[in-house]
Structures are given as structure tokens and as C-alpha cells.
Amino acid sequence: MFSIEKKSKQPTKGETCSKWESIGISQDYLVNIDDYKVSVLIRYTAWQNGERDVNCLDFAGDKRLNKLPGRLRFCIEPHGLSHDMVTLKTAIIKSEPPAHANLYKRDIAFYHEIMGVDLVSELISYGDCKIDTKEVLLNTTGRNRTELCMVFPTGNEILPIAAFVLTRIYPILLSDQPRFWLHILDTENGKNKLCRHAA
């Protein structure tokens, strides 16, 4: 579906997911999606305060991605002593201009039925991981218990990069397909309103 190429590594300074100013080390990856003639530069950052995240820096190709750089980043959270966790919210583009994407809660069936992607198999191909709801994997009992998440070994940078591509980039690229477009309209008409999350 896509290739991931390791690029430069450099010190960085910026704002973490929790809105703290920090310094850190960033590793850049170039993702090529040949079917769509798209290249995306994605950055994995390990901040000095212990936080980590994945963010889109730049892209070449499809203009629908022009609102992605600097938005919708992954926040990586520790899970136990040897694993990390990311929440797998899905970027869904708006039908009305300006055409930027917001994040929504979607399940594994959405990726199979609407996107035609085997999310679990694709992610497992990049390393050992578990994908399920927070209720199943984290024993969460609150309102976020049905959110999809991925648990994976600490130190694997490729898995969150791949997950970012599949949940943030692919849904935007697929947004012109009829079944996906109908899903977008259903969402905006309120049928999926309870699943909406702010970007």
C-alpha cells in the first residue's frame, strides 16, 4: 500500500501534546503512496519531558492533504513498563469548504467496509501490536471505552508512522469514493454525530 523510508534525525524545539514547550529529538520518515502519487514527510519526536508524538510536516501530491501538516498528530502514551499506546481516531474530510479533516471515532469494521482496508493485518505487518477498543486492551470503563487504540512495544517508531498513514492520510485520499462520500454525508447529517471528536 505504501513504503516508509527513514530520513534525517535532528534536535527540535516545539510544543508537546500536553501543550508544554520542550526540546527533543526528531526522526523524519518519507512515506510514498504510489497508487495516489503522494509523498508525505512524517516526523516522530521524542521530547525531553518524556512525551512522544507523530506529526505530518509536509506533502507532495494530492491537494486534499494541504490542511494536514501540523494538525491531527498522534500522541503516544506509555502503557506499562515496556509498551506504548496510541488512540486510532480517523480523519474524515468535510464536504463543505474549507475542506479540512476532523477526527472521528470509528471501529475496525469501518476500515473493512468503507475503506476496504484490513487495518489489523496492515499494522501487524509492521511489528508486534494489538488493535482493539480501549475497553478490551486497557480495561477502560469511561466514555472513551469504545475508542479504537493500538498497543505496541516501546521503541518501535514504524508502527505509529504506519498507523498515522492508515488513519489520518488514507481516509482523506479515499474521500472521493462513493461509499466513503455517503459515509461523510451521513456523519454531517447527524447519523454519526455521537462519534465526532474535535481535531
Tell me: the pLDDT tens digits for 98-141?
667 889 899 999 898 888 899 999 999 999 999 999 999 999 99
Task: Tell which wins on pLDDT, 199 or 117.
Answer: 117
Tell me: the pLDDT tens digits for 25-63?
999 999 999 999 999 999 999 999 999 999 999 999 988
pLDDT score of 194 more than 50: no
Q: What is the length of the chain?
A: 199
CB 102 within 8 A of CB 197: yes
d(C-alpha 170, C-alpha 2), whole Å: 10
103 CB-near residues (< 8 Å, 6+ apart): 72, 89, 90, 91, 92, 197, 198, 199
Task: Tell which wins on pLDDT, 185 or 36.
Answer: 36
Query: H or E stretch including 110?
Result: helix 108-110
The pLDDT value given to residue 197: 34
The pLDDT value given to residue 169: 93
Tell me the CB-side half-sphere exposure of residue 111, using CA atoms within 13 A.
Answer: 25
Regarding pTM above 0.85, the answer is: yes
What residues does each domain of the chain span?
Answer: 3-197
Query: H or E stretch including 193?
Result: none
The pLDDT value given to residue 147: 96
Going by C-alpha positions, the residue among 198, 197, 119 that lies closest to residue 159 is: 119
Query: H or E stretch including 192?
Result: none
Dihedral angle of Cα 151, 104, 199, 26, to the nearest 10 degrees? 30
Query: H or E stretch including 187?
Result: helix 178-188
Region of residue 15 (left: phi > 0; alpha: psi -120 to 50; beta: else): beta
The pLDDT value given to residue 191: 53
105-114, 124-133, 167-176, 178-187: range with highest mean pLDDT? 124-133
